[in-house]
Amino acid sequence: MLRKHNPVLNIVNGVIIDLPTPANITVMWNWGSLLGLTLIIQLVSGVLLATRFTAMSEYSFERVVVIFQESNYGWLLRLLHSTGARFFFLFLYMHIGRGLYYGSYQKKEVWNIGLIIYLILIGTAFLGYVLPWGQISYWAATVITNLLSAVPYVGGIIVQWVWGGFAVGSPTLVRFFALHYLLPFVVTALVVLHIFFLHSEGSSNPIGVRSNTYKVAFHYNYRVKDSLYFFLYIWLLVILSLTLGYSFMDAENFIPANPLVTPAHIQPEWYFLFAYAILRSIPNKLGGVVGLLLAILVFFVYPFIASTTAGGIVFSPLGRVVFWGLVVSFLLLTWLGIIPAEPPFVIVSMLITRIYFGLIFLSWIVIYWAL
């Protein structure tokens, strides 16, 4: 017999034993727990790296080299931290995709807080990418911060305020380092809030039934299952960090930042490539920035158009076609973000961008009218 569900007690105690959990949830519900484990790994490795880092443009690149070559296990911490960031976004996209497919947007607070976490993680990852102060780090900071100049009338002032001067330099690096260190703790607080609202209603399930009768205790049914995937993920993270850790890094970023030499091709990490492709596909600078923001902000609409009684996209044949169309367009935009902006790929990017937003709008119609 399950005890009465008390979400506050579950979270405060930090031990979930009798939490009523749907008995039919699949491996797709493991992405959330894997994200929690990855966040812990990133926090621990990040704090340890921060104790050995110097946020000054004259020394940052050399300090990264010192961490690699002279600090005890500094190379391992750096590789785990950088590879873990890539896994973080992989799990995050799978988590969001699963939520969209199975209708998790019906839980408004959970969905909206999750998207806010995603937005903060985007900023955190970008700030961390700048810190090594290599060629790609420097020019990525220059290009991305320059997007703020698209804001009418005050754009130039905002850019100079962010830079702390008239160009990206030491003041910029100090600010980015401070924010990169602090924002993960903000994310941690939001994750606790995210879990609180999730457990106040209970997890969803593949068939969308909200009955309280077909549930089992979280322990040991799902704690053992989570532990298995924790072990597999840690094993994979360590293996990839030790064998391919450097392969995930841009070769240009092993060159110290040089404001006088622009890299031939500047591109972000793979998890930002879809948004980067959308940005480049719109000729107007302000329009590109708006398109970049809308590519993510459109997901805030789903909770406000969804019925609380209908299931997710999975229950609609048209909805499933739209969902997998979105997945394909996301992958195509990610690929196009790697390709230099030249014909015919510019035209293809414009086309796929229109398809992406068109499918988003069609998914709203499918959900609102329960087609």
Question: How far is the C-alpha of 274 from the C-alpha of 278, rounded, in Å?
Answer: 6
Query: What is d(CA 30, CA 229) in angstroms, rounded to the nearest whole number?
Result: 8
Catalytic residue among 57, 199, 329, 363: 199
Among the listed residues 156, 141, 174, the one whose alpha carbon sits nearest the alpha carbon of residue 262: 141
296-303 contacts, C-beta under 8 A, 24 or more apart: 296/115, 296/118, 296/119, 296/122, 298/357, 298/360, 299/96, 299/100, 299/105, 299/115, 300/112, 300/115, 301/364, 302/100, 302/105, 302/111, 302/364, 302/367, 303/105, 303/106, 303/107, 303/108, 303/111, 303/112
215 catalytic residue (yes or no): no
> Is 250 one of the annotated active-site residues of the chain?
no
Candidate list 104, 137, 203, 316, residue with the active-site label: 203
Asked if residues 348 and 277 have their Cβ atoms less than 8 Å apart, the reply is no
Check: CB of residue 13 under 8 Å from CB of residue 3: no
Whether 199 is catalytic = yes
Stretch (H or E) spanning 296: helix 285-297
In the residue annotation, 70 being an active-site residue is answered as no
Identified catalytic residue from 269, 329, 349, 363: 269
The residue from 45, 81, 180, 226 that is catalytic is 226
**Which of 5, 108, 219, 225 is labelled catalytic?**
225
Positions annotated as catalytic residues are: 199, 203, 225-226, 269
